[in-house]
Every structure is written in C-alpha cells, then in structure tokens.
Amino acid sequence: MRVGSEVCPVTLRSLAAVWIVCSLAWGQQTTPDWQEQVRKYAQQQDWNAAMHIVDLEVARTPQDMDVRAWRARVLLWSGQLADAEREFREILAAVPQDPDNWMGLASVYSREGRTEDAEKALERALELDPKRADIHAARGRVLRDLHQLEDAKMEFRRALELDPQNTEARAGLLSLRGEAKHELRFGVDTDLFSFAEANHDGGVSLTSQWTPHWATTAAGAFYRWAGTDAGGFSGSVTRKTASLGALTVGAATAHDNGVIPRAEAFFDYDRGWKVGQSDWVRGLEIDYGQHWYWYSSARILTLHETTTLYLPRDWTWSLALIGARSYFPGDGTDWRPSGYSKINFPITGTEQRGLGGNLFYAVGTEDFAEINQIGRFASHTYGGGLRFRLTPLQDITGFAAYQKRIPDRTETSFGFTYGIRF
C-alpha cells in the first residue's frame, strides 16, 4: 500500500517473508541431499558425477572432515586406491579419533593387498570404539585372510554378540567351518562348424589345496567329435612358495579314437609381483609353460608365455604368445606363432555375490575355441564370457566365441561351467 510516496513497512515485511519461504521451498525441491546424490551415482558407478558433487562440497566447506571422508570413500569405491589412501591419511592427521576413517583406511589397505596394515588400522578403530559390530566383522575378515582362523572366529562371534543381525559376521563364521580346500567343477562345450557336424564335450575336475604350498588337480573329460566318442583323464601337482612362485607339472592319457591326443605332458611356472599403486598398473604376473601332445598321427609341442597386468578397479589385461611345433608324418616339422589378448572386468556386485565379464581376441594357426585342437589353419577368434558368483562358494561361468578360418570357414563355440567349493 502506498501512502503518498512511501511504501507501507508492513507490506515490505510480508513480501520479504513470502520471498524467503518460497526460496527455501524452491531450494528444497531443486537441490536434493548431496549425500543421496553421491550414493545414487556410486550405485550407477558414475564416478565422475559422484566426485564432482563431493568436490563442490569440499570447496564449500574445506575444513569439514566428514565431507573429506566422503571424497575418500568415492576414491576407494572407484578403485583410485593411492589417492584414497592419501585422503584418509590427511583426514586422520586432522581427526585421529574417528573409527570410521580408520575403517576406511583399512579397506584401502585390503584392496591394495596390504593385509597386515589393514589389521593394524582396524585394531586402532576398535580401540576407539570396541562396541562396533561392523568393525569386529571387518577385522574378522582380515584375520581370516591372514590365516589366523581362531582369532577371526572370535571377532565374528563378538560382532554377532553386539549385533545378532549382522549378516557379514554370520557369513564369516560359515566360511570358517573348515576353510574351503576343494573346488569341484562341471562343464560342457559345443562347437558348431560351417563345414562339419557339431562337436560336443564335457568334463569334471577336482582341485584340492591341501596346504598353502601344495595343490593337486584331477580331471576327466568326454568328447563326441565328428560322430566319434573319446575320453581322457589328466592330473597335476602344484608347489607354491611366496618367494619363488608356483610350479605345476602334470600328464594326461586318453582313449583317443584318433580325434584327441592319446597322451599329454606339461609343466607351468607362474610368478607375480606387486608393482605399486600407480594410476595404471598395480601388479604383474608372468606365466610360462610347455605342453606336449601325442596324437595318433601327429606330435605337437606348444610353448606359451602369458603376461597379466593388474589394473585399477579390479580390471586385468592378459597378453599371450604361443609357439606351436607340429610334426606330421610325411610332412616334416613346422613352427607356427599365435597369440591372444584378454580383458577381465567386474560388472556389479560385492565380494559375496557379483557378476564379472571378459572379452578376448586370438589370432594364429591354432583353434583357440578349443585349446586341445591344434592344426594347420589360420584363424581369428572373437569372444567373451561372464562369471556369476552365486555365493562365496559357488559360481557359474559361460563363454561364447566366433572363429573365422581360412579358407572361408567358421566356427561358433559356447559353453558353461558350474563350480562349488567345500
């Protein structure tokens, strides 16, 4: 209301109040809670969007260590472990009495393979809050990884005393009912050819980790190739040491019917190293092996070398080179090179249950769809697979591949395996 040239002060106050109320309501409607937004983007694995939101909050309140802790968690979830470790250390230097941040640092150490450091960080977290069931469960998992099974069992039980509904502690106790030493795996494969009838094969294998240093594998397989049935048995022994790696030696024999090797012998040496926590390579593994095949009408020797790079976010990339020495009666001896590249990656899930995948490409003179078929033809193979972890003790894997051979022939392969550990 105007009185002459003046504005009524009551009206001004009313308009201001309305503007403030409307502004607050508009802000609540258009600016959702930033933590919920970060969780949403984390579930979608959109790490750039999640980090953008957190960085805005850090810029707004740079001294707020709770906000910094969110930034450290996003770095951890996204696999940027070196940056996550640095962030948690800076936070703990400012607020050393927060058990959540010690738990976060322990998670980083666990992902880095620094299990003893993770256990020390969790000890510190328990000193600060000994009645946290989640900390006891986390320490139980780390002690289990360190093979301190009795101490791990005590931590899981303590977690259940504090929180009877703690599913991680319950699963941890179940996993300690005799640590799984054996894996039984069943599988079937099918090959469809453009120039012949289909091949089918299947098998069962049992791998046993008797001690931390000794393991054995026994496997049986059956085949129906080109209308002919065949079957075989193989066995191997592996010796592992922390300093020297793992050496495997084995052999196989078969009722071959002229379609599979009648006898085989092989050895394999595997060694890994931790490279560091750089942005690109976290670990390196090199595997070298030799395999002899004795067919009814040919003798084959293969030499293989595989290098695997362990990358951020639990990705791996493998490159392999293979040399095959073939001897066919009346045709002499011949060496042929080949190789393949394979990428493994997580898709979704947790340590208890999850889905992962792989993609591969192979080129050479060998049949990479079925590694025990070796012949003189050039080929290119494209394929991929999935691995679904049903529980910590069960998984299902599947694969599919398409191979182009010369002259103008193709093969399509697919199969799956089911594994259970006990």
CATH code at 411? 2.40.160.40
Within this chain, do residues 26 and 55 fall inside the same structural domain, yes or no? yes
Asked if residue 382 lies in contact with residue 355, where contact means CB atoms within 8 angstroms, the answer is no
Q: Show which of 175, 192, 222 is a domain's final residue.
A: 175
Residues 155-205 have pLDDT tens digits of 999 999 999 999 989 988 888 876 678 999 999 999 999 988 999 999 999
Cα 268 from Cα 289, distance rounded (Å): 4
What's 75's domain CATH number?
A: 1.25.40.10
Cα 179 from Cα 170, distance rounded (Å): 15
Residues 264-312 have pLDDT tens digits of 999 999 999 887 655 688 889 999 999 999 998 889 999 999 999 999 8
Q: Does 224 reside within a domain?
A: yes
Within this chain, do residues 168 and 201 fall inside the same structural domain, yes or no? no
**What pLDDT is recorded for position 329?**
75
Q: Note down the domain range covering 31.
A: 11-175
Banded pLDDT at 101 (limits 50, 70, 90): very high
Q: How high is the mean pLDDT of the chain?
A: 86
Token representation of residue 226: 């080109």
Residues 112-127 have pLDDT tens digits of 889 999 999 999 999 9
Q: Does 213 reside within a domain?
A: yes
Banded pLDDT at 333 (limits 50, 70, 90): confident
Q: Does 139 reside within a domain?
A: yes
Query: Residue 391 pLDDT > 70, yes or no?
Result: yes
**What pLDDT is recorded for position 415?**
97
Full-model pTM: 0.63
Cα 306 from Cα 288, distance rounded (Å): 6
**What pLDDT is recorded for position 130?**
94
Residues 340-350 have pLDDT tens digits of 999 999 998 76
**What pLDDT is recorded for position 12?**
35
Angle between helix 34-43 and helix 47-60 axes, rounded to 10 deg: 160
Q: Show which of 131, 151, 175 is a domain's final residue.
A: 175
